[in-house]
């Protein structure tokens, strides 16, 4: 799912995580530049999406069905 702010500057994308049925990759972009990418749970995705839509007026602008790979690195 893609959510876009009222002014179009902020975009938040939620992609299904490749190989993980209960996880999503959240990508936040500002003015077309990717600012962050993180792996989140389905519950967190629902919380984030509802908050952006109901409290900040974001609109759903796209639905992503293809998974995105997120490589986690442990140090």
**In total, how many domains does the chain have?**
1
Q: What is the pLDDT of residues 8-44, one digit of tens each?
A: 999 999 999 998 889 999 999 999 999 999 999 999 9
SS3 assignment, position 56: helix
Q: Which domain holds residue 56?
A: 2-62
Is 52 inside any structural domain? yes
Is 72 inside any structural domain? no
Determine the pLDDT at residue 75.
45
Is 73 inside any structural domain? no
Determine the pLDDT at residue 30.
97
Q: Which H, E and C letters describe 23-55, residue by residue?
A: EEEEEEEECCEEEEEEEEEHHHHHHHHHHHHHH
Is 18 inside any structural domain? yes
Query: Which pTM does this prediction carry?
Result: 0.88
- Answer yes or no: is pLDDT of 62 > 70: yes
Determine the pLDDT at residue 72.
58
Is 29 inside any structural domain? yes
Determine the pLDDT at residue 74.
46
């Amino acid at each position: 799912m893609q959510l876009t702010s009222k002014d179009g500057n902020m975009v938040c994308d939620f992609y299904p995580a490749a190989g993980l049925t209960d996880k999503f990759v959240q990508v936040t972009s500002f003015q077309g530049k990717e600012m962050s990418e993180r792996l989140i749970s389905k519950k967190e995705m629902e919380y984030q999406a509802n908050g952006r839509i109901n409290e900040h007026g974001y609109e759903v602008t796209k639905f992503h069905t293809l998974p995105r790979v997120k490589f986690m690195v442990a140090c």
